[in-house]
Amino acid sequence: MGFWDKIFGEFIDVIDWIDESNDTMVYRFERYNNEIKYGAKLTVRESQAAVFVNEGEIADVLGPGIYELETKNLPILTTLQHWDHGFNSPFKAEIYFVNLRKFTDLKWGTKNPIIIRDKEFGVVRLRAFGTYEMRISDPALFLKDIVGTNGNFNVEDISNQLRNIIVSRFSNIVADSGIPVLDLASRYDQLSEYITQKLAKEFENYGIELTKFLIENISVPPAVEEAIDKRSSMGVVADLGKYLEFQTAESMTQGGEGNMASMGAGMGIGMAMADKMSERFQKSKDHGYIPDPFEKMYYYANGKEPIGPLNIDEVGDLIKERKITSDTLMWSSGMENWQKASRFDELESLFNLLTPPPLS
């Protein structure tokens, strides 16, 4: 070091850091080979902490305020440096500014589906993503265990590690919560709070506080979504009889004004169908079995009398008994007019299975 370098080096007497970025967590004050003047002014702003490191060992940690660097406010460094009360020479020490503000809108998400066991659906694959917030709660621990000698430590330097912790713990936490898959979407807030509590200890080990954890979406495979939608539809249909009456009326009104007679006949059939379906539903329910309310039902014409409702299996039995032939007129909910049984695509295979009648 030259003469003038040494002279000017002793005049580092103002130490501060203004964060011009949005993601810097720790910044080491750059002093190069300069020494810090004893009695220098140190400014630590709100949401900052200044950590003094002496020969690789963490010494004093100062919170927000303006300090005159002397033995009275650097007790640990004074001990490490063996300063006496009359000390007034420049000294060497590394100073790290630690950003204590909250770092928000940090992303997390599952790269691959996670597998959990649900009481209702068994083994289910889930995908999830959301955001979280965190801040440094223990500057000395964070500096010691995470930052090391990195002079400019950013959120990106640790976000991947934190994201891996979240995802690796997420499946266990969701399973332990006991919340059924059907209820997950309506209980994001409750689950988020539960996960925050469970992950807090993990983050504390790094000197970090997890201040908020949010779940934006948990998705299930299409097959499970379809089952959930169907379950929801079942819940909407509180009175099966009234539902079938409504469906029949809707289908009949699509027949046009010129077909009022057919509509009237169809409406009568629809009402009878609704009554019988409702009765069948109640009987099945009493025996512990709930039929599918969306099962397609049929009527066939016996002369001028409609017979039904019948499900596909019952129609098949009548075809085998030759009580319904390909020319028999049939009707089903949603149709405008009666049609020959041969016009029903789903019945074609049943007619093909018929054994030819014996030769006369």
Domain borders along the chain are: 3-99, 103-225, 237-352
pLDDT digits 0-9 by tens, 208-223: 999 999 999 988 877 7
For residue range 273-291, list pLDDT tens digits in order. Answer: 555 555 555 555 554 444 4
Longest Cα–Cα distance in the chain = 132
Q: 146: which 2 tokens? A: 């995470």
- Is domain 103-225 classified as CATH 3.30.479.30? yes
CA–CA gap between residue 135 and residue 153 (Å, rounded) = 14
Whether residue 247 is predicted with pLDDT greater than 60 in this model: the reply is no
Task: Using pLDDT thresholds of 50, 70 and 90, give the confidence band for residue 99.
Answer: very high
> Please, which contacts does 355-359 make with residues 24 or more away whose CB atoms are closer than 8 Å?
none
User: 2-34, pLDDT tens digit by residue?
Assistant: 544 444 444 567 889 998 888 999 999 887 666
Spatial distance between the Cα atoms of 23 and 250, rounded to a whole number of angstroms: 60
Q: Tell me what pLDDT residue 102 has.
A: 94
- CA gap 83, 105 in Å, rounded: 46
What's the pLDDT at 329? Answer: 93
Percent of the chain with pLDDT over 90: 28
Average pLDDT over the chain, rounded to an integer: 78
Is the confidence at residue 330, as pLDDT, over 50? yes
Q: What is the pLDDT of residue 340?
A: 92
Q: In this predicted structure, which of 84-93, 182-191, 207-216, 339-348 has the lowest mean pLDDT? A: 84-93
Q: If you average pLDDT over residues 242-252, what whole number do you get?
A: 55
230: tokens are: 């169907």
Tell me, what DSSP letter sits at residue 27? E
Strand 36-44, strand 12-15: pairing: parallel
Q: How confident is the model at residue 206 (pLDDT cuts 50, 70, 90)?
A: very high
Give the orientation angle of helix 240-252 with respect to helix 260-286, to 10 degrees: 160
> Tell me, what's the pLDDT at 245?
56
Which strand (E) or helix (H) includes residue 286?
Answer: helix 260-286
Gap between the Cα atoms of 166 and 145, Å rounded: 19
* pLDDT computed for residue 241 by the predictor: 53
pLDDT value for 296? 79
Averaged over 257-272, what is the pLDDT? 50
